[in-house]
Amino acid sequence: MRRTLKCWHYSKIIQNRLVDKKAALDIMNLAREANKYFDRAEPWKSVKTDKERCSTSLHICLQTIYTLAELFEPMLPFTSQKIFKLLNASPVAWENCGKPNLQQGHQLNQPEILFQKIEDEVIEKLIAGMGKSAEEAAAPPEELIAYDEFMKVKLVVAKVVQAQKVKKSEKLLQLQLEVEGKQRQVIAGIAKHYEPENLIGKKVVIVGNLKPAKLMGLESNGMILAVEEEGGGMKILEISDKVKTGTRVR
């Protein structure tokens, strides 16, 4: 019995949806016929040659728009309310649909665009985001670079020879690095993750052609590569002691 009632319930839902779909198609057909009538009447021409004919055409079109708003109200309530507002009129009972509801001399409100045009670019973005999570859809597309662009970044191996904390800073370490027998200074934001003495002797990867920058009044000539660990820690990229300083990372 319960299964029979359940099947009957779903069949009624499907039946109602089919009826709603057919009703929407019938109303759209009425709208299409109204468009055809408007095109044939050409009120933009008759207003110059036959004002009475022009006013009759516009009167019929406005009455039809009123009827369409009434018919669409159960499916598109907000749109229908907007149409009624533009017509400066209120909805009527369904049995009066199709009857003249706008009297002669009726004053309309200021016309507005009913539906904003959606540009092709917006539609393409929406289609591209279908099937993705909210985070994926919101994320900007990954920017790809050419190999030649990547090779502009000079990643080289360097050895830490000196390290100390930067005064008045909780995050910065002042490092002296050796690269192919030459010394350079790098200021790194890893003080919360490494004690200075534990870095001495380590071989690391740095961006060797980064423009100099000043941090806490100290000049930094490069940047050490590091990755964030689970839990918020920071791990510098360490290189085997067998690799010479100055070796290019490719």
pLDDT computed for residue 102 by the predictor: 83
pLDDT computed for residue 196 by the predictor: 92
- Domain shared by 168 and 85, yes or no: no
Residue 11 or residue 70, greater confidence: 70
Tell whether 211 is covered by a domain.
Answer: yes
Residues 6+ apart with CB under 8 A from 54: 43, 46, 47
CB 218 within 8 A of CB 164: no
Which one, of 56, 49, 48, 80, lies nearest residue 67 by Cα?
80
At 20, the pLDDT band (50, 70, 90 cuts) reads low
pLDDT computed for residue 5 by the predictor: 41
Residues 6+ apart with CB under 8 A from 211: none
pLDDT, tens digit (0-9, with 9 covering 90-100), for 101-159? 788 888 888 888 887 777 777 777 777 766 666 666 566 667 888 888 888 999 999 99
Tell whether 105 is covered by a domain.
Answer: no
Beta-bridge mates of residue 159: 178, 203
Tell whether 120 is covered by a domain.
Answer: no
- Domain shared by 93 and 151, yes or no: no
- Domain shared by 69 and 156, yes or no: no
Residue 105 or residue 9, greater confidence: 105
The pLDDT of 184-200, averaged and rounded, is 93
- Domain shared by 94 and 151, yes or no: no
How buried is residue 33: exposed, middle or buried, by Cβ count under 10 Å (0-12/13-18/19+)? exposed
> What are the φ and ψ backbone dihedral angles of 32, each rounded to 5 degrees?
-65, -40
Residue 97 or residue 42, greater confidence: 42
Residues making up the chain, counted from first to last: 250
Domain span at residue 16 reads 2-99
- Domain shared by 92 and 9, yes or no: yes
- What's 36's domain CATH number? 1.10.730.10
Q: What angle do CA 98, 112, 89 make, to 5 degrees?
A: 35
Tell whether 16 is covered by a domain.
Answer: yes
Residue 131 or residue 86, greater confidence: 86
**Tokens coding 122:** 């917006």
pLDDT, tens digit (0-9, with 9 covering 90-100), for 194-217? 999 999 999 999 999 999 999 889
Tell whether 174 is covered by a domain.
Answer: yes
Q: Mark which of 68, 99, 130 sits at the end of a domain.
A: 99
Tell whether 95 is covered by a domain.
Answer: yes
The pLDDT of 47-65, averaged and rounded, is 89
Tell whether 69 is covered by a domain.
Answer: yes
- Domain shared by 158 and 84, yes or no: no
Q: Would you give the end-to-end CA distance of the chain in angstroms?
A: 72
- The number of C-alpha atoms within 13 Å of 163 and in the hemisphere containing its C-beta is 18
Task: Report the domain count for the chain.
Answer: 2
d(CA 157, CA 177): 10
- What's 223's domain CATH number? 2.40.50.140
Tell whether 190 is covered by a domain.
Answer: yes
pLDDT, tens digit (0-9, with 9 covering 90-100), for 214-246? 988 999 999 999 998 888 888 999 999 999 999
Q: Mark which of 99, 134, 166 sits at the end of a domain.
A: 99
Mean pLDDT of the chain: 83
Q: Mark which of 99, 128, 156 sits at the end of a domain.
A: 99
- Domain shared by 9 and 94, yes or no: yes
